[in-house]
Amino acid sequence: MKQDKSYSAVMSRRNEIMKKSVGIDYESFEQEGIGFSYEKMMREASPYSLSEIQKIQLYNGVGHTPLKELKNITKMVRKLAPKGKGARIFIKDEALNDSGSFKARRAAVSCYHAKKKGYKGVMAATSGNYGAAVASQAAKYGLKCIIVQECFDSRGVGQPEIVEKARKCEALGAEVIQLSVGPELFYTFLKLLEETGYFNASLYTPFGISGIETLGYELVKQCENEVGRTPDVVVCTNAGGGNLTGTARGIKKATDKKVQIIGASVNLKGLHMASDYQFNRKSFTTGHTGFGIPFATYPDRSDVPRSAARPLRYMDRYVTVNQGEVFFMTETLAILEGIERGPAGNTSLAAAFSIAQELDDDQIIIVQETEYTGAGKHHGAQLSFARENGINIQFGNPRDEIPGENIIIPKNPSLIKVNDLDLTRVKKSCIKNHINNNPEVELTEQDILFLMEEINENKTFVLEILKELGR
């Protein structure tokens, strides 16, 4: 009997397809009520220890990237900061991984596991650097690779950064399937997983998150060895939450000392990520609030039943920067430090430039990743594309920037300032989403404990929010 390939039929088989394609029985981690055992999933679903993952990654050209001090940028910070302020800024130069980004760490574990379990190929749904990472690691293991991208608007116009990433994926041997913006991405991805029997190298499995733990572990040990102390602050670009989650977990495995974890996203307030018209009116395809806030407030909107990326469990502070500020810092990194890296990875650098001015001059702040640049990823190409789409590019005060209408490059570096998001409000939204998505559940002590862990808050906080919600 021919299998029904309609949208409703494929979506109804979602859990079955996912279980087969990742080899994880997510139901075994479910609890009665709204929650699940996150730590049990992280422990049992990915059977590799930190040291094993380090060996897996090192064998295939991933990890052990250098920690570099940005001495000239730190000097500029100290010219702007009050006396005695201006922390030393370092970057973990992840662009030196084979595929050009930290996401090689995620892909290394997934592809290793796929090969070990006998899958013939791997698949990933991504418009970002992860596609190139999966393609690179698949090539090393002799696996076939399919990358599904949301690339074009209805006019057939592709965002240059995404088009460049497609080029790189194809150069590394992957088949790239490019789709227009809209709901067809997940449907197409599920259908292909079912037809091919390939491994789902999702960003959101325990394999993907545990692979980033080595990054957090490394940067702490490098800082201790090279500077003589643990970092005070680590800034992580935040989109789907896996980058921050994995890095924070690795930091906790490296040291018992308190390291402040700050998430940073590009402010794209007002732009809807699934809007055909607005798709090409943004200059950042990742690391922005269009992913950062929805995935923080409800992680399980991902392509697996339970996402392993749960940033509110680890985030101490959440800030945004504007597009123009990130472009400014991208050029500053090149001109002052002689390091040309992609704009999206410099989201955290723009945030760190501002935050360093709040910190004492003997403190250490680390920007935990960089990404490769070139072709459509280059900030020059992105600004040109923005102009072609009617975006006004100007110099001035970034506070006046309106996403989708203009990009304002700071007329001087003193205007680069982070905007703090209300983390309490974000946590309240997370609780609300969990409750609204489980309206029939009668909450128990186990559910309350899950919510406490989910947002890293005490019982009183959770109970107050539940009372506000009438629960």
For residue range 120-175, list pLDDT tens digits in order. Answer: 999 999 988 999 999 999 999 999 999 999 888 888 898 899 999 999 999 999 99
3-state helix, strand, coil in the chain (%, to 5): 50, 15, 35
- Residues contacting 194, CB < 8 A, separation 6+: 10, 13, 17
Q: Where are the domains of the chain?
A: 7-30+38-55+101-206, 60-99+207-420, 423-468
* Number of Cβ within a 10 Å radius of residue 226: 13
Q: What distance lies between CA 262 and its chain's CA centroid?
A: 13
Question: Does the domain spanning 60-99+207-420 belong to CATH 3.20.20.70?
Answer: no
Higher pLDDT, 37 or 271: 37
Would 7-30+38-55+101-206 and 60-99+207-420 be classified into the same CATH topology? yes
Tell the residue number behind the tokens 């800030």, with chain if given.
Answer: 319
Q: Name the CATH code of domain 7-30+38-55+101-206 (choices 3.40.1390.30, 3.40.50.1820, 3.40.50.1100, 3.40.50.300).
A: 3.40.50.1100
Tell the residue number behind the tokens 């006004």, with chain if given.
Answer: 392
Over 80: is that where the pLDDT of 198 sits?
yes
Q: Please answer whether residues 216 and 253 qualify as being in contact, where contact means their C-beta atoms are separated by less than 8 angstroms.
A: yes
Tell the residue number behind the tokens 């990654």, with chain if given.
Answer: 57
pLDDT level of residue 2 (50, 70, 90 thresholds): confident
Query: Rounded mean pLDDT of 242-261?
Result: 98
Give the pLDDT score at 279.
86
Give the pLDDT score at 1.
60
pLDDT level of residue 230 (50, 70, 90 thresholds): very high
Query: Rounded mean pLDDT of 272-300?
Result: 89
Flag the least confident range among 65-69, 276-280, 396-400, 430-434.
Answer: 276-280
Give the pLDDT score at 140.
96
Over 90: is that where the pLDDT of 214 sits?
yes
Summarised one tens digit per residue, pLDDT across range 75-105 is: 999 999 999 999 999 999 999 999 999 999 9
- How far are the Cα atoms of 27, 28, 41, 308 from residue 31, in angstroms, in the given order? 9, 8, 12, 16
3-state class (DSSP) for residue 309: coil
Q: Please answer whether residues 260 and 266 qualify as being in contact, where contact means their C-beta atoms are separated by less than 8 angstroms.
A: no
Q: Please answer whether residues 328 and 268 qualify as being in contact, where contact means their C-beta atoms are separated by less than 8 angstroms.
A: no
Flag the least confident range among 28-37, 230-239, 247-256, 270-279.
Answer: 270-279
Q: Residue 434 and residue 3: Cα distance in Å, rounded?
A: 34
Helix spans in 306-422 (H): 323-337, 347-355, 379-388
Q: Please answer whether residues 188 and 148 qualify as being in contact, where contact means their C-beta atoms are separated by less than 8 angstroms.
A: yes
Mean pLDDT of the chain: 94
* Number of Cβ within a 10 Å radius of residue 75: 11
3-state class (DSSP) for residue 296: helix
Q: What distance lies between CA 51 and its chain's CA centroid?
A: 23
Give the pLDDT score at 153.
86
Tell the residue number behind the tokens 């500053």, with chain if given.
Answer: 332
Give the pLDDT score at 154.
87
Query: Rounded mean pLDDT of 56-83?
Result: 97
* Number of Cβ within a 10 Å radius of residue 452: 17
Higher pLDDT, 128 or 410: 410
3-state class (DSSP) for residue 384: helix
Summarised one tens digit per residue, pLDDT across range 361-381 is: 999 999 999 999 988 889 999
Beta partners for residue 92, in sequence order: 67
* The two structure tokens encoding residue 305: 């039943």
Q: What distance lies between CA 296 and its chain's CA centroid?
A: 11
Over 80: is that where the pLDDT of 274 sits?
no
- Residues contacting 128, CB < 8 A, separation 6+: 103, 165, 239, 285, 286, 344
Higher pLDDT, 338 or 182: 338
